[in-house]
Structure formats: C-alpha cells, structure tokens
Structure 1
Amino acid sequence: MAPEIDIIDPNVYERGGIPHEQFTWLRDNDPVHWHHDLNDGVPGFWAVTRHEDVVTVSRNSQLYSSHVRTSMYEEFTDDEVLLYGMMMLFQDPPDHTKNRSKVNRGFTPRMIKQLEGHIRDICNELIDDVVERGEACFVEDIAAHLPAYVICELLGAPVEDRQKICDWSNHIIGFADPELAGAKEKAKVFAGELMEYAAQLAHERLAEPRDDIASTLLKPDESGERLSIEEFQLFLLMLIIAGHETTRNGSVGGMLAFFENPDQWAKLKADRSLLRTAPDEIVRWTSPINLFRRTATADTELGGKQIRAGDKVVIFYGSANRDERVIEDPFTFDISRDPNPHIGFGGGGAHFCLGTHLARLELNVLFDTILERMPDIEPVGEPRRLRSNFVNGVKEMRVRFTPSTPLGTKAAALSRG
C-alpha cells in the first residue's frame, strides 16, 4: 500500500531527517511524482527521486531552467526573480558559463590546496576553545565556525567578522525555523546587510588588492573579464550560503554518522588513508543540500510522465544518494566506498558545486584533527534538527570527550602573520 507522501513539509525533516521510507517507495513506484504543495496558492511540483532522473535534469539546463523561477523551492515575486537572476546559482548558460569562468580561477585544486595549513590551524583553534572543558556543542562550537572562518580566510576578511558571517548564513538559510530568523522578511534584512558588507569589501580590495580570492575575482583576467561590484556582492551571498551551510551540515552529519556507526570511526582511527574517501561518503550519506528546483522550458517526458512547459520540477539529492540502482548497499555508511557515484555536490552539468575541492579538504582536515585531539568523542543526548526542507541540518548536538591542554593555535597562527 502506498504511504502518505509528504516530502516537502519542513516539519517532516525537523522530526526525523530525510524521509527515506517515503523516498524509497517513490523511487520504486513513482519516481517522477506529482506532489501537491501544502501551502494554499502555491503550485504543486514534480518530485524527481531517482539518481538517473536527477542527473538528467541537472545536465539539461536548456530544458530544465534554474533562471526562469530561480532554483529555490520557494515561490518568489517577479521582481525578486529578476533580482535573484543576477546570481550565478540562478542563471543558465550562456550567462552562467560566462560568470562561472570568472570565479573558477579562485577555486582550482591548486588554489584550494594552498589553504590546507590555514584550515588545519582553524580546526585546532576551534578545538583549543573547548578542549579543556571536555564537552561542547559540536554545531555551535565547531561545525558552524569552521566554514565561516575559512570563508574569511578566502576573502582576507578580518578575524572579527567571522561571527557576523556565521549569523548571516544561519538567518538567511534558517528562515523556516522560528528559533533562528522566524520569517522571510528578516532573512531579506540579513541578506541586505551581507550585500552591504560585500560592497564595502569589494571597494577595499579594488583600492588595495591583496593575496586573497576577493582580490583575484575583482581584477581582470587574461581576457579582461572581472566581476562587477554587483556580481561580487551576489557571489559572496552565494558563497556564504552554499559554502557555509554545506560544510557545516556535512561536518555535523558526518560526526553523527560516525556516532551511529562506531565501527567506521574505529576503521578511520586505524587507517587515516581513508580520509581520502571519507568526505565523499559523508556528503553522500548526509546530502547537506536536500533539493533544488528547476522550471521546465518546454513540454517533455521524464520517468514516463508528461512534463509541461512552466511546470515546477524539484530534484531530491537526499533520495538520489540512496538509489539502489546506482549505489551498491546505499543504506550502509562505508567510508571506504570507492568509487562513490553520489551527487551530493550536484548531478553534474552547469551547476556542479564550485566548492567541491574546498568542501572535501575541510571535511578531511576537520576529522583528521578530531581523531588527533579528541578521538573518544561521543554524543550526549539526542541531536535537534533544523526545520528546513532545503538543508539537512542539525542545530544542536552535544558531545563529550577527554579534556586536554590547548595547543595555543591562535597565538601561533597570529605570530606567523
């Protein structure tokens, strides 16, 4: 018998995380499912749940547009769509291709590899702040700060701006959770503050360029192309939302996965070479970003269903990453999984995650540092999940570990300049 299908209500995710039982039924019985929206006046949508179909949609920007009504599940006004359409995340080729080429140079594997020492210092600094206590909130004390600190490092932003970046990201993404922002209007205010900050940073870097990604993006490349102030503002908004939330929730979800699968933590302790494959399995398992929206630009067929031009099409990574047709034994968390055909960084095509190399490096270094400094880390009580259908987030997860002495990482890093 078919279960009651509700894979979009944020309350579903707050109560139990990704509704895998429903997704499994959909993949087996109705992989392109017409899902009536729960809110009055908001259109229903096609829920795409199989790996193959998610990849098909992801790789065909001409037929499944990120630009027409943005790539967010929420419905926006025409004016909002026009504004947000300037952001790379909400563009289709050729505009997306042109803008992506401007920022790619800041995120090559070679550029990201240069950050490894800084990321290790940041991880040690965060652990220094809690290690004497023997207990912490893994979300607030460690996971939430790591990507914000790394983004500050990328931009060359002052250390004192780290908390602002954390707060902006939390409130912009968490507008559906009453504990965080409480309303879309507040989220817009925080986004506005972030845009003002980005403009100020851009003017500073144009006046006095530095050895950071902000300066790299704002100076002309070989063909004379560079980001305008407005494009830089929107890029920074995207970087803080995408770069902060994916790594934050991947870190927390990964730690939770290790708590629930202690054999894998023991396996990683015994063989650190598994840090090469572990980040991808963490991203597959947690699917930090649950969904994105596309809009059909023409009548077509997908999964045996007739899709009409203008239809809302929602692709679910959390489902695709557990698809038995593509991933062997998908409900087993296996940090040695290789190859790992997950699509936690996107299903390919134009919008494959720009920060893939950075996310892998952050997860690699974080868990390496935890293994080194708090190997007996364990949970205290149940985690509390975020009320969101967009990010698979945990907002509180208490942990304990054997207390130890700080390394003084912050002072050492400052002394090196």
Structure 2
Amino acid sequence: MSCPALPEGFDLTDPDLHQHRVPLPELARLRQTAPVCWIPQPHGVAGFDDDGYWAVTRHADVKEVSTRPEIFSSHANTAIIRFNEHIQRDQIDVQKLIMLNMDPPEHTRVRQIVQRGFTPRAIRALEDALRDRATRIVAGARESGSGDFVTDVACELPLQAIAELIGIPQQDRSKIFDWSNKMVAYDDPELAITEEIGAESAMELISYSMNLAADRKACPAKDIVSRLVAAEDEGNLGSDEFGFFVLLLAVAGNETTRNAISHGMHAFLTHPDQWELFKAERPATAADEIVRWATPVMSFQRTATQDTELGGQRIEAGQRVGVFYSSANNDPEVFDRPETFDITRDPNPHLGFGGGGPHFCLGKSLAELEIRLIFNAIADTLPDIRLTGEPRRLRSAWLNGIKELRVTYT
C-alpha cells in the first residue's frame, strides 16, 4: 500500500526534509487528491513496530480526529509521530505519563487540575511582569546592534513566562532553557545532542520539578505550584505528576512559542507591508495569523482504537493516524488565500493550538499574550529591524523550528 499522490518513498515526517522546508506543495496535493492517505515507512523507522501511518491533511478531518479521543487515542503510541529509530519501546511508554499523551478519563482529571494555572486571572497577573521583561529583552538587542534574533529575542520571553507561572527562581531559569533545548534537538546533528542526552535532560527537568513540588508541599507559598500540589485529595497533583507537567510546559509552552515568534519575525520582514501595518495599527488579529503562518507543531499523531472510517477511507484498529496541522492551516476550503500572510485575517480558525477536543492547547491565552507583548516591544524599539541572512531550520520530524535568524536591529 502506498500513496500515489506522492513520489515513491516520500515521507512527510522525514526530518531531513524539514531541515530545509515544510512540504506545503505535497500537502496541498494530498488535500486535493488523497486527503487521508497511507504513508509507508521502513519498518520501525519512526520507533514503532509498524510500516507507516495515515496522513490526514484536510482541516475538517484533522478536527474530527482531534475531537474523537475514544476512536483516536493519544495514549496508545503517544502523540509524537516520529521518534529516532533507535528508541526503545519502554522509552516511548514512559512518555505516556505526560498529559499530552493521555486519554480521558485520566487526561480529564489532570487537565482539570492544571488549568487552574491558566485562568484569565492567572494570565492577567503575569502581564505587567512579562511586558517589562519584553521591553528589557528588546532594549538589550538594540544595544547589540545585530545578532541572532532567536537567541537574543525569541527564546527569552517564553522561558520567562513559564518560569514566572510556576515560580522558578531566576538563578535556575537558564537550566530550564538548556534542558528543553536538548529534549527536542536530538534529531539535529549540528547541535550534537544524542537521544541519550535528550533523555537525561528530561529526567533532570523532572527531578528538579519534583523537588520544587516537594518544597511547596512542605512550605506552601502564594503561587501556582502550591495550588497544584499542596492539598491532600485527588484534586491535586502528586510530585511526579507535577514533574511531567513541567516537562510538557518546557516544550509545549517554551519551544513552540519561541518558534512562533521567530517565524513571525521572519514573516514580517519578508512581508514589509504587513510590518508597516503592524507598526501603525497593532491589529488584535496579528497573533493568530502569526501562529497560523508558523504552525510550530507541524503534526501529531493518534492511534485508532477500533476499525473506523475517516474521509471515506477505512482505517484499521492499531494503525497510526498523523494529523498535519501545517496542511490544515493552509486549507483553501477554510482560508481565503492561505498562502498570504495577512495579520488582519478574520475569522482565522487555524489549528495552530490543536484541532479542538481534550488536547486543545491549555496555554493559548498565554502564548498569544507573549506574541503580542514581544512584537509590540519590537515595533516600539526596533522599527527598522532587517534580515541579514536566511533562517537556519531545526532538523525535526514534527517541530517547525528556527535555530538561527540573523538580523540587524537598528
């Protein structure tokens, strides 16, 4: 079984491909001719005991998979569509302790607890500190004259936001950044991060977080961590659950927002009319278009729990189903001129925060706040920022990452 709409051997999750581009032309061809299509893989290449997956590329079908967890499981094989081929099954299975890889009712229980930290009130309480931080980040970049936008600007605010949210001391925050980088960079040989180093970093972050939770249980403070772990009943997280929650935040809340900001800056600088519009009007719709355009998570997967049908295609129980957000966010059935970066786009029902359902991004409001604050600060302080080189992309099977973006700030 193969996909006639693609060249022989073409794999949408190939990290070598993503190091150079997102396969938007191929995804468009699939949407038009084979919206639910079997993608064969060499046995075990993605870390799973199978020979491929179904690629789901239309907006409507991605939403359907996302909103039917009883049919399409996040837990069975996790949500990560491709691991390193040398990974062991027990290394995959331990990741099922992360909320991203849970199904209801366990997912429901954990999410009801952790969403206490993401209420509108909790996010508003962070705004002044994050605005001040954004201003200082951009001022520091201006003083340097030129540099790498990713390390100088994009990476800092998401890290600080997560650290502020869960009360990580300032002196420890660089550790979180380092650990989260290593956890997602094992596919990129330029970064010299092996899968073993990535796993060690994950365990260090979990251990650090468990110790933080234990400290708050012993000595509660007026912070989110204490609210999540300090009480005694089932409505709170154990120290181990909190550790895995912070692990998720370090990737879902740090890496993804950083890449949205990096892609957003590149989009503005390659669409100067949109940058001029943003500087003049600051439209409230800009953050959503940045996320749609960037789609920091290109794809996740689910596993069919039973024989089912999707988009007219029969899917067997146990088969993996890849949902391609990069394709859904460029579906012309939903978006007018999706190939156009338009910060006034409204409505904008993008799936950059997921396709709805139980796994819709818990940190959506926080991410949008960070994007708004950092680009307001850039427009105020660095209005003449310019590109001096092409972005260098991260080699990854599923994360749409930029690891370097050279610019002149003044």
In which range does the TM-score fall when normalised by the shorter chain?
A: over 0.9
User: Residue by residue, what CA displacement relative to the aligned partner does 1:310-331 show, whole Å, maximum 9, x if unpaired?
Assistant: 0011101011000001111111
2:288 equivalent to 1:280: yes
- Number of residues of Structure 1 aligned to a counterpart in Structure 2: 398
Q: Which deviates further from its counterpart, 179-188 or 22-31? A: 179-188
1:162 paired residue number: 173
Single out whichever of 4-13 and 337-346 deviates more from structure 2.
Answer: 4-13
Alignment of 1:25-174 (within 5 A): 25-38=29-42, 42=46, 43-74=51-82, 77-174=88-185
Judge which range, 181-190 or 103-112, deviates more.
181-190
Q: What is the alpha-carbon distance in structure 2 between the residues aligned to residue 218 and residue 179 of structure 1? A: 39
Q: For residues 62-84 of structure 1, what are the alpha-carbon distances to aligned partners after superposition, in whole Å with 9 as ceiling and x for unaligned?
A: 00000111111135644334422
Structure 2: how far apart are the matches of 1:2 and 1:243? 35
Q: Distance in 2 between matches of 1:215 and 1:398?
A: 41
Report if aligned partners of 1:385, 1:395 keep a CA contact under 8 Å in 2. yes
Give the superposition deviation at 1:7.
Answer: 1.4
Structure 2 distance, partners of 1:354, 1:48, is 23
Pick the aligned partner of 2:239 from 218, 229, 238: 229
3-state SS of paired residue (1:289):
coil
The corresponding residue for 2:378 is 370
Distance 2:353 2:365 in 1: 10
C-alpha separation between the residues in 2 aligned to 1:292 and 1:166? 23
The list of structure 1 runs, each at least 4 consecutive aligned residues, that deviate by more than 4 angstroms after superposition, is: 38-42, 75-78
1:39 CA displacement: 6.1
Per the alignment, residue 259 of structure 2 pairs with 249
Q: Distance in 2 between matches of 1:367 and 1:279?
A: 9
Structure 1 unmatched ranges of 5 or more = 403-417
The residue number in structure 2 matching 1:199 is: 210
State the match for 1:393 in structure 2.
Answer: 401
Q: Quick one: percent identity of the two aligned structures?
A: 47
Q: Which runs of 5+ in 2 are unaligned?
A: none
Matching residue's letter, 1:73: I
Q: Give the Cα–Cα distance (whole angstroms) in 2 for the partners of residues 181 and 103 of structure 1.
A: 34
**How far apart are 1:129 and its partner, in Å?**
2.4
RMSD: 1.6
Aligned pair in 2 of structure 1 residues 396, 269: CA closer, same or farther (>3 Å)? Answer: same
* Residue identity in the other structure for 1:381: G
CA contact (8 A) 1:172 1:181 kept: no
Aligned to 1:15: 20
C-alpha separation between the residues in 1 aligned to 2:116 and 2:59?
30
- Return the offset for 1:130: 2.4
Q: Does the 8 A contact of 1:152 with 1:161 survive in 2?
A: no
- In structure 2, give the amino acid aligned to 1:257: A
Q: What's the offset of the Cα at 1:219?
A: 2.8
TM-aligned CA deviation for residue 287 of structure 1: 0.2
TM-score by length of 1: 0.92
CA–CA distance in structure 2, aligned partners of residues 41 and 369 of structure 1: 44
| Correspondent of 1:262 among 272, 281, 285 | 272
Return closer, same or farther for 1:8/1:271 CA change in 2, 3 Å cut-off.
Answer: same
Partner of 2:248: 238
Taking the aligned partners of 1:194 and 1:304, their CA distance within structure 2 comes to 43
Deviations 1:237-282 (A, max 9, x none): 001111011110000010011011111111111102x0x2111100
Q: 1:186 Cα deviation (Å)?
A: 1.4
Task: Determine the C-alpha separation between the residues in 2 that align with 1:3 and 1:309.
Answer: 25
- Cα distance in 2, alignment partners of residues 136 and 334 from structure 1: 27
The alpha-carbon deviation at position 401 of structure 1 amounts to 2.2
Give the corresponding residue for 1:414: none
Looking at structure 1, the residues matched to 89 and 6 of structure 2 have their Cα atoms a distance apart, in angstroms, of: 36
Amino acid at match of 2:79: S
Partner SS for 2:147: strand
CA–CA separation in structure 1 for the residues paired with 2:402 and 2:234: 43
CA distance in 1, matches of 2:65, 2:81: 15
Residue 35 of structure 1 aligns to a residue whose secondary structure is strand
The residue matched to 2:191 in structure 1 has which SS? coil
Q: Which stretch shows the higher mean deviation, 50-59 or 110-119?
A: 110-119
